[in-house]
């Protein structure tokens, strides 16, 4: 970084510019936004400069600059667009101790003027050290479009209200208040009734936050279902609507997260890819930490929170902290999976019981009652069974399972990318490998897709 961005205090300070043409006009338009005392030296100034002078916005001296003209100036702009004249005027200013900028002469300038996005008092300065003015302009245009024109007004009103907000404890509580003001209440009130409405909305907003302060924290363990947001329960939606904090795992789809309250803080507790995912202890601590500050926490888990969700460990941690909680059930992957293949989990005269089993547990591949699972007519839904499919296949065959026992694997059940692999115990491991699934997948032992059931061929089939 060859130039360090700073914001210079110009209120009541002296800024001098030499020049009266286009370059001078461009700089003056920016400088007129400040509260500096502006003096312009120009033997033949453009009409606009005359007008600004007449309006009292700057002081115009209709002659070339002389030594002594830049006394006490903080900044000086050489904008005569003439190398010799710029060198002469900037030498005078330098001698008077001003920071000098020569228009279109990066080399001899002590500072450069950035592209500015002005939402006073919020100001964004964009600089490319002269390397790419086009880029600076593009970034400026992008930000201009993105930042609402009323942002500055909101910030100004907000600034005046800062003292009142000190009734809220520092940290998260205050941050929550301000984020709701800037991204919710503030812009809404501005749209509805301008500055006055914003001024009126602030005390009411603060009041809600002060009252919320006295509110007890609470944790809702909510089932997010298999992915399709329409498979959320009404209670899950309500909980998401009221959440201050949503702590979700990797299985929860973006479409479901989209339904969380806009102001809620979303925390991904199942992040993989960049380093290891959070440990269960860290997740427990995170839930407790947020609820302890009075937040309404939604612990959002894929499917049903009570199925292979390590729910009890989280409940124990919340209980130990003396925090209230409740469970909102969700549609588990097994339910969404059988729906996808058009089958029932139980069926008269076929199976009076169904097992939900996990492919692996904390110790590795999970052992099950294989002898029972290998019986004809048995139905099992295997969660987390992708990696362990060869192990499961081996165990089933070892315990005498019929090689032709149907097996259905449903990947991404209920989601647009849903895929079904129909196979048999004899071929399940190799067919699964060949299908190269990368989403969550559920393996059903003892169930074929209803459509494939009729056909004798039980070779691999995929249904989009």
SS3 129: coil
Taking the CA atoms of the chain, what radius of gyration do you get in angstroms?
Answer: 34
- Six token digits for residue 369: 């009652």
The least CB distance from residue 242 to ligand SAH, in Å, is 22
Q: CA-CA distance, 113 to 10, in Å (whole number)?
A: 14
Q: Which is nearer to ligand SAH, 38 or 396 (CB)?
A: 396
Q: CA-CA distance, 23 to 77, in Å (whole number)?
A: 10
SS3 7: coil
The least CB distance from residue 384 to ligand SAH, in Å, is 4
Residue from the set 333, 421, 422, 425 that interacts with ligand SAH by CB under 6 A = 333
Q: Does 221 interact with ligand SAH (rule: CB under 6 A)?
A: no
The least CB distance from residue 365 to ligand SAH, in Å, is 14
The least CB distance from residue 377 to ligand SAH, in Å, is 23
Pair 118, 33: CB distance under 8 Å: yes
Taking each helix axis from N to C terminus, what angle separates 186-213 and 172-180, rounded to the nearest 10 degrees?
150
Binders in 274-303 for ligand SAH, by CB under 6 A = 301-303
Binders in 383-402 for ligand SAH, by CB under 6 A = 383-384
The count of C-alpha atoms lying within 13 angstroms of the C-alpha of 215, restricted to the half-sphere facing its C-beta, is: 18
The least CB distance from residue 249 to ligand SAH, in Å, is 8
Q: Does 406 interact with ligand SAH (rule: CB under 6 A)?
A: no
Q: CA-CA distance, 181 to 263, in Å (whole number)?
A: 10
Q: CA-CA distance, 185 to 178, in Å (whole number)?
A: 10
Number of residues that bind ligand SAH (CB under 6 A): 25
Residue from the set 15, 60, 442, 445 that interacts with ligand SAH by CB under 6 A = 442
Binders in 249-278 for ligand SAH, by CB under 6 A = 251
180 backbone dihedrals φ, ψ, rounded to 5°: -70, -35
Which residues on adjacent β-strands are paired with residue 99? 75
Q: Does 440 interact with ligand SAH (rule: CB under 6 A)?
A: yes
The least CB distance from residue 352 to ligand SAH, in Å, is 22
DSSP string, 50-93: HHHHHTTSSEEE-S---TTTTTTEEEEEE-SS-HHHHHHHHHHH
Q: Does 341 interact with ligand SAH (rule: CB under 6 A)?
A: no
Q: Does 209 interact with ligand SAH (rule: CB under 6 A)?
A: no
Residue from the set 240, 410, 421, 432 that interacts with ligand SAH by CB under 6 A = 410
Q: CA-CA distance, 122 to 36, in Å (whole number)?
A: 18
Q: CA-CA distance, 109 to 241, in Å (whole number)?
A: 55
Q: Which is nearer to ligand SAH, 49 or 409 (CB)?
A: 409
Name the one range near ligand SAH by CB under 6 A: 17-25, 133-141, 307-315, 446-454. Answer: 307-315
330-to-222, 230, 236, 309, 324 alpha-carbon distances in Å: 7, 12, 8, 12, 20
Q: Does 338 interact with ligand SAH (rule: CB under 6 A)?
A: no
Q: Does 449 interact with ligand SAH (rule: CB under 6 A)?
A: no
SS3 139: helix
Catalytic residues: 249, 271
The least CB distance from residue 320 to ligand SAH, in Å, is 23
Tokens 């902290």 identify what position?
321
Name the one range near ligand SAH by CB under 6 A: 11-19, 229-237, 280-288, 436-444. Answer: 436-444
Q: Does 412 interact with ligand SAH (rule: CB under 6 A)?
A: yes
Site residues for ligand SAH per CB under 6 A:
226-227, 251, 301-304, 307-309, 332-333, 336-337, 383-384, 410-415, 440-442
């Amino acid at each position: 970084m060859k130039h360090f961005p700073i914001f210079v205090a110009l209120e009541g300070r002296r800024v001098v510019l030499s020049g009266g043409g286009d370059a001078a006009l461009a700089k003056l338009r920016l400088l007129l936004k400040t509260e500096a005392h502006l003096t312009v030296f120009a033997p033949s100034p453009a009409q606009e400069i005359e007008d600004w002078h007449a309006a009292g916005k700057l002081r115009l001296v209709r002659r070339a600059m002389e030594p002594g003209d830049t006394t006490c100036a903080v900044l000086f702009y050489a904008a005569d667009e003439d190398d010799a004249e710029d060198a002469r005027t900037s030498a005078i200013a330098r001698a008077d101790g001003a920071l000098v900028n020569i228009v279109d002469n990066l080399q001899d300038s002590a500072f450069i003027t950035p592209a500015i996005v002005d939402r006073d008092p919020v100001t964004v300065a964009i600089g490319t050290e002269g390397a790419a003015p086009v880029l600076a302009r593009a970034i400026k245009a992008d930000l201009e479009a993105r930042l609402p024109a009323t942002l500055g007004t909101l910030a100004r009103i907000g600034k005046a209200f800062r003292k009142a907000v000190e009734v809220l404890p520092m940290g998260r509580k205050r941050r929550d208040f301000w984020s709701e003001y800037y991204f919710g209440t503030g812009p809404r009130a501005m749209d509805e009734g301008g500055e006055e409405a914003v001024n009126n909305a602030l005390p009411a907003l603060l009041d809600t936050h002060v009252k919320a302060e006295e509110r007890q924290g609470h944790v809702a363990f909510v089932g997010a279902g298999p992915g399709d947001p329409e498979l959320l329960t009404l209670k899950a939606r309500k909980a998401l609507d009221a959440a201050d904090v949503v702590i979700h795992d990797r299985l929860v789809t973006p479409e479901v997260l989209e339904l969380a309250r806009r102001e809620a803080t979303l925390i991904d507790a199942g992040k993989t890819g960049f380093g290891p995912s959070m440990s269960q202890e860290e997740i427990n601590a995170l839930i407790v930490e947020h609820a302890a500050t009075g937040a309404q926490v939604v612990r959002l888990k894929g499917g049903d929170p009570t199925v292979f969700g390590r729910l009890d460990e989280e409940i124990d941690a919340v209980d130990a902290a003396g925090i209230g909680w409740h469970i909102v059930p969700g549609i588990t992957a097994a339910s969404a999976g059988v729906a996808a293949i058009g089958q029932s989990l139980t069926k008269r005269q076929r199976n009076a019981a169904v097992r939900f089993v996990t492919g692996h547990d904390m110790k590795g591949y999970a052992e099950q009652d294989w002898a029972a699972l290998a019986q004809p007519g048995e139905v099992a839904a295997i969660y987390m069974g992708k990696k362990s499919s060869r192990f499961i296949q081996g165990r089933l065959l070892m315990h005498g399972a019929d090689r032709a026992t149907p097996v259905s694997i449903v990947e991404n059940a209920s989601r647009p990318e849903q895929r079904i692999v129909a196979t048999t115990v004899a071929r399940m491991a190799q067919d699964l490998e060949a299908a190269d699934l990368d989403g969550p997948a559920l393996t059903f032992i003892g169930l074929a897709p209803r459509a494939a059931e009729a056909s004798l061929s039980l070779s691999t089939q995929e249904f989009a």
